[in-house]
Structure 1
Amino acid sequence: MGQLFSSTPKDEDHGDLESSFTEYFKNYKEESKIISKETVRLIELHLKKGNIQGANSAISDALKNIDTVPINVAVTGESGAGKSSFINALRGVKDEEEDAAETGVTETTMAITPYKHPKIKTLTLWDLPGIGTMKFPPKDYLEKVEFKKYDFFVIVSTTRFTKYEVDLAKAIRLMKKNYYFVRTKVDSDLENEKKCKPRTFDREKTLNQIRSSYLHILRDNGISEPQVFLISNHDSSDYDFPVLVDSLFKELPAQKRHNFMLSVPNITEAAIQRKYDSAKQFVWLEAMKDGVLSTVPIVGILKDSDVEKLEASLSHYRVLFGVDDESLEFMAKDAQVPVEQLKKNLKSPYLLQTKNEETLGGKLLKYLEKFASANGGLLATGLYFRKSFYLQFHFLDIVTEDAKVLLREAYSKI
């Protein structure tokens, strides 16, 4: 066990490193990669030339950029359209929580108000005054709200998009930014329709009618290829909310996708899987930088510092995937069940618990043997990572499955 995965790259292995790196990133679609094509090509070029230090530097720069690059989302629209509730839904925060965006039936945002994501500090959602309340022409409005700093605009409505919002969308497009039309409170529309037509009510037909009416109005007003997302701020797993999040994620620059995806609440299994894929790419790049590309031989044992980092990593993953103790307490309170009932089908809360004379280091080495057996001893042909990274992948697998278990349980109670 002491020498499992131990190896030091030789000069003739550089070609294997390049091909392994290339093959790994082929597993991900272009819109899902967390590093750009240019960065991938640069790393491949360095590896091809045997420039290990250059590849190491390129990966370090990419990881630093991912960790620090700001993501700014602008949310605007008519008075009372549900902008603040939409911001809270994207942040995974309930309207009545302490740091929630203020909600109300009247226009509560008369000034530009930033809201940091509670878990992803590089992500800020900006609650902008509705353009109709500002009484500025679109160009002046965009200058007033400093449009250049936003990655994209979400234009929210609850009844119909006015001339103000349509003109604003055109101005945003002229300034080469993306915008998304979001129609909130469709759950209320469906409920009213069902009350009015209890015998003939058809959910999908009603949603299609709402969507078609909006698309027709937008086309008539010069928006050539409009997209309208129908959502409920109080049920982010239903309607078009998951599709909207998908669209936002895919159209972001590569280096911003990772943190944006990690910020998304666990609204569907697909969202959890995408969060997992993003986190796995990040850990894989860290492993490349600190393992394969290191000139120091890979150590055959787990040091105390490795164990501490692994404890921190597991805690971090549990928070990001919403299976940490605090999140479980909130879920248990909402579901009105004991927290232990939620935990009974989960594995991650107990991963680092030891019994009797067992040491944490010894337990981790057993996990490592199990991981090695399940994965053929290597994550990818020709790559030899430090043991701590294999365990990080193991933790990611367990935490991701726990998040899916909780989601399935939530669905089963609906």
Structure 2
Amino acid sequence: MGQCTSDTSKDEDLGNLESSFANYLMTIKTESKIISQETIHSVESQMKEGNLQRAHSIIGDALRDIDNATINIAVTGESGAGKSSFINALRGVGPKDEDAAEVGVTETTIKRAPYKHPKIRTLTLWDLPGIGTMNFPPEEYLEKVKFQEYDFFIIVSASRFTKHELDLAKAIIFMKRNYYIVRTKVDTDLQNEEKNEPSTFDREKTLQKIRSSYVNTFSQYEMDVPQIFLISNRDVSDYDFPVLMDTLIKNLPNEKRHNFMLSLPNITEAAIDRKRESMRQFIWLEACKAGAVATMPLVGLFRDEKERLKVKLNRYRDLFGVDDTSLEAIAKNSQVPVEQLKKILKSPYLLETEKEKTLEKLASETLDLFASATGGPLGAGVFFRKTIYFQHLFLDTVTEDAKVLLTKTYSKV
């Protein structure tokens, strides 16, 4: 009988692995890829030369870089502009949560304050003192707050852009750092405008008027106009908040995109899908790193395997906000029993069934869907490991649960 280690089998496996690697990555948009094009070319080159060990090493290094890549976001602006609320919104925490940034407190500190993301250990948002509270020039301000540590700056404003903020923007450009303008409280502006001019109120015209005021200010000072995002910290699914998130993802280095995407609050179905696609890339790269192995049939789960799968499932539930702690918080805010929320979800009960064949059938269906997405059979046994099957099953399930929860919580369940 032929063995899976025969030269012919190895050649076929290697060819399939190379083909699968190339085909899958072709389906991912450039701005969403979590590894660089240079890394992709290096892996493909090593596979073509038959050097699987080196290819796996390159992928392993890339995965470690993703895991360990720190993301530091500087948030600054005048006191009362909504910096703390914006930081809380980015972190997906409420103003009364234990580690929330304090809202509505008069700024007196001259020190920066770090706020770790509750689920992504490598992401930190830094609340910087407003430049108007510091008695030295913008260049010195940036040195004091350690400008070189941040991936980019977000200048938060709630009214007209001040001379202090314009000078800060110039200094950030001089220091060769990216920055973005976030105009908060546009919901309040719209409400006031509608109240004052009910017969002529036009939402889009009002928003355009706000945006134009910033554009005109930069033009007046002969500065290039940066990207300006109009948001409400109280409704992050509306206005420019989703566009801001897409822009930040696009402009981050490849290795930092994955964790930033996972950090995003579930504000829209598109944001949830983006998380899933990023996790699919990560899972797929892990599988490629495992290399060309013999196909493993889907047989019954052993107890220790089930425990490992349970850890994976719980991690996905946590990242997608359908874990028990998140459900309790949502239930409290929505004033509905947590058991009622759980009834509309599938992931909490995914591993409780005794009928393993049901899981195996679902896993096979997941494999079929993924195979069709990559344009053909998945080679070299990369996806034929049971844990890979189930990781995709878990991922798709928590994604759908997150979407259901998004819809139901807005409709008060």
| TM-score (structure 1 length as normaliser) | 0.92
Spell out the pairing of 1:250-265 with structure 2 (5 A cutoff): 250-265=250-265
CA gap of 1:375–1:92, structure 2 versus 1, over 3 A, is closer
After superposition, what is the alpha-carbon deviation per residue over 1:352-393, rounded to whole angstroms, capped at 9, x for unaligned?
Answer: 112xxx36x555334334434555699652422212101110
Structure 1 partner of 2:347: 348
CA gap of 1:159–1:307, structure 2 versus 1, over 3 A, is same
CA contact (8 A) 1:371 1:377 kept: no
Spell out the pairing of 1:3-402 with structure 2 (5 A cutoff): 10-107=10-107, 109-290=109-290, 293-294=291-292, 298=296, 301=299, 302-354=301-353, 358=354, 362-372=357-367, 381-383=377-379, 384=381, 385=383, 386-402=385-401
Measured in 1, the distance between the counterparts of 2:176 and 2:237 equals 30
Measured in 1, the distance between the counterparts of 2:31 and 2:133 equals 37
CA gap of 1:337–1:268, structure 2 versus 1, over 3 A, is same
CA gap of 1:112–1:362, structure 2 versus 1, over 3 A, is same
**One-letter identity of the residue aligned with 1:371:** T
RMSD of Structure 2 on Structure 1 (CA): 2.2
Instruction: Specify every segment of 5 or more residues in structure 1 that has no aligned partner in the other structure, as ranges.
Output: 1-5
Measured in 2, the distance between the counterparts of 1:411 and 1:366 equals 33
Measured in 2, the distance between the counterparts of 1:369 and 1:30 equals 29
Of 48-57 and 108-117, the range deviating more from structure 2: 108-117
CA contact (8 A) 1:109 1:127 kept: no
CA contact (8 A) 2:34 2:256 kept: yes
Following superposition, the deviation at residue 12 of structure 1 comes to 4.2
Following superposition, the deviation at residue 176 of structure 1 comes to 1.9
Measured in 1, the distance between the counterparts of 2:350 and 2:337 equals 21
Instruction: Specify every segment of 5 or more residues in structure 2 that has no aligned partner in the other structure, as ranges.
Output: none
CA contact (8 A) 2:24 2:373 kept: no
CA gap of 1:217–1:234, structure 2 versus 1, over 3 A, is same
SS in 2 for 1:315: helix
**One-letter identity of the residue aligned with 2:359:** L
CA gap of 1:107–1:285, structure 2 versus 1, over 3 A, is same
SS in 2 for 1:132: helix
How many residues are paired up?
403
Measured in 2, the distance between the counterparts of 1:158 and 1:192 equals 14
CA contact (8 A) 1:102 1:108 kept: no
Of 160-169 and 145-154, the range deviating more from structure 2: 160-169
Following superposition, the deviation at residue 174 of structure 1 comes to 2.2
Following superposition, the deviation at residue 126 of structure 1 comes to 0.4
**One-letter identity of the residue aligned with 2:261:** M
Measured in 1, the distance between the counterparts of 2:370 and 2:142 equals 52
Following superposition, the deviation at residue 129 of structure 1 comes to 0.6
Following superposition, the deviation at residue 15 of structure 1 comes to 3.0
Following superposition, the deviation at residue 330 of structure 1 comes to 0.9
Following superposition, the deviation at residue 346 of structure 1 comes to 1.4
After superposition, what is the alpha-carbon deviation per residue over 1:78-115, rounded to whole angstroms, capped at 9, x for unaligned?
Answer: 11111111100000011111100112252154311101
Structure 2 partner of 1:3: none
CA gap of 1:297–1:376, structure 2 versus 1, over 3 A, is closer
After superposition, what is the alpha-carbon deviation per residue over 1:140-199, rounded to whole angstroms, capped at 9, x for unaligned?
Answer: 111111111100000011111111111211221222211000111111111111211122
Q: Identity of aligned pairs, percent?
A: 62
SS in 2 for 1:179: strand
| TM-score (structure 2 length as normaliser) | 0.92
SS in 2 for 1:10: helix
SS in 1 for 2:114: strand
SS in 1 for 2:160: coil
Following superposition, the deviation at residue 255 of structure 1 comes to 0.2
After superposition, what is the alpha-carbon deviation per residue over 1:219-244, rounded to whole angstroms, capped at 9, x for unaligned?
Answer: 21232132211111111111111111
CA gap of 1:376–1:39, structure 2 versus 1, over 3 A, is closer
Measured in 2, the distance between the counterparts of 1:61 and 1:7 equals 28
Measured in 2, the distance between the counterparts of 1:7 and 1:188 equals 67
